[in-house]
């Protein structure tokens, strides 16, 4: 029997929106999707605000019982201790975060996060029952030198080293050259890498977990191109940057089942 994976549309806000703006945005997003009768079982929605917004978003989501998930953009590999400026997975779990983004290319390049650190952070997330959204992706240079799948596959293997059993993870394939460039991968390119990543999931986590694990595409996703990605068999959603800050655009991406004809 074919496994069905609930698509996930995730908005990575990066360093945008303070906690008051976050409250207004999430409230309006919920209204907009409610008005449009969005079926949250057909496409799950999650937002990833800055750390300082999370308590406000949690309070709003829980008091108004909004069907919107949320998570953090990073976490510490450590649970507690003398690590000034770090945020523990334990704190994120207390804030009812469902997810945490790990190994985004901006953290890998701007904060020197190595594959080892990414792996340690994945384990920290799993210790606290947070679902890690493990980001992998190649630069334009990697693409030219090694082809499309080699670097993302190696990054995913490293991120999952030490993870065993029925781990609940999400993988996000984000080609670095497509992030913020306005030049998205083609659906065929995304599918080719997503299929290779699913093979890694089969090898590391087993067939059953691999069949259930969602693989997202990220990099210049917009309402105008989401349909093509969602038609691909191994692409189960999107990690959206810039377009997740535009309410109408993001709501339209979330509502892709209505314009994809799936
Ligand atoms: P853009 O959608 O702005 O290209 O960003 C993608 C991204 O980095 C999401 O994590």
Q: Supply the CATH number for residue 105's domain.
A: 3.20.20.70
Binding site listing for substrate: 12-14, 180, 220, 241-242
- 146 in catalytic set: no
Note whether 200 and 192 are within 8 A (CB).
Answer: no
pLDDT of 261 > 60? The answer is: no
Q: What is the pLDDT of residue 185?
A: 98
Q: Tell me if 37 is assigned to some domain.
A: yes
**Marked catalytic residue, from 138, 174, 191, 232:** 174
Q: What is the pLDDT of residue 165?
A: 77
Q: What is the pLDDT of residues 169-189, one digit of tens each?
A: 999 999 999 999 999 999 999
Strand runs (DSSP E) across the chain, as ranges?
Answer: 8-12, 44-48, 69-72, 99-102, 131-136, 170-173, 214-218, 237-240
Q: What is the pLDDT of residues 20-61, one digit of tens each?
A: 999 999 999 999 999 999 999 999 999 999 999 999 999 999
Structural domain boundaries, residue 85 = 8-260
- 174 in catalytic set: yes
Q: Tell me if 204 is assigned to some domain.
A: yes
Q: What is the pLDDT of residue 1?
A: 46
Structural domains in the chain (count):
1
**Helix, strand, coil shares, percent, the chain, to 5:** 45, 15, 40
User: Is residue 136 within 6 Å of ligand 1 at its C-beta?
Assistant: no
* Residue 258 pLDDT level (bands cut at 50, 70, 90): confident
Q: Tell me if 251 is assigned to some domain.
A: yes
Q: How high does pLDDT run on average in the chain?
A: 96
Note whether 195 and 210 are within 8 A (CB).
Answer: no
Q: Is the pTM of this model over 0.85?
A: yes
Residue nearest to atom 5 of ligand 1 (CA): 241
């Amino acid at each position: 029997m074919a496994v069905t994976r609930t698509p996930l549309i995730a908005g990575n806000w990066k360093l945008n929106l303070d906690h008051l703006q976050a409250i207004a945005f999430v409230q309006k997003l919920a209204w907009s999707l409610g008005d449009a009768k969005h079926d949250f079982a057909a496409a799950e929605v999650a937002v990833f605000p800055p750390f300082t917004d999370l308590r406000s978003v949690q309070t709003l989501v829980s008091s108004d019982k909004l069907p919107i998930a949320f998570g953090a953009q990073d976490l510490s590999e450590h649970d507690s201790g003398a690590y000034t400026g770090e945020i523990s997975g334990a704190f994120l779990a207390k804030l009812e975060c469902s997810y945490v983004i790990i190994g985004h290319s901006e953290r890998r390049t701007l904060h020197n996060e190595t594959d080892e650190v990414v792996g340690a952070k994945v384990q920290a997330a799993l210790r606290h029952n947070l679902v890690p959204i493990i980001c992998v992706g190649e630069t334009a240079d990697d693409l030219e030198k090694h082809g499309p799948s080699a670097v993302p596959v190696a990054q995913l293997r490293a991120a999952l080293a030490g993870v065993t059993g029925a781990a609940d993870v999400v993988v996000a394939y984000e080609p670095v050259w497509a992030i913020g460039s306005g030049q998205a991968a083609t659906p065929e390119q995304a599918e080719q890498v997503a299929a290779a990543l699913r093979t890694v999931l089969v090898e590391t986590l087993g067939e059953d977990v691999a069949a259930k694990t969602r693989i997202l595409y990220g990099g210049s996703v917009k309402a105008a191109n989401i349909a093509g990605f969602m038609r691909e068999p191994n692409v189960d959603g999107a990690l959206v940057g810039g377009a997740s800050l535009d309410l109408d655009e993001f709501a339209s991406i979330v509502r892709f089942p209505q314009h994809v004809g799936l």
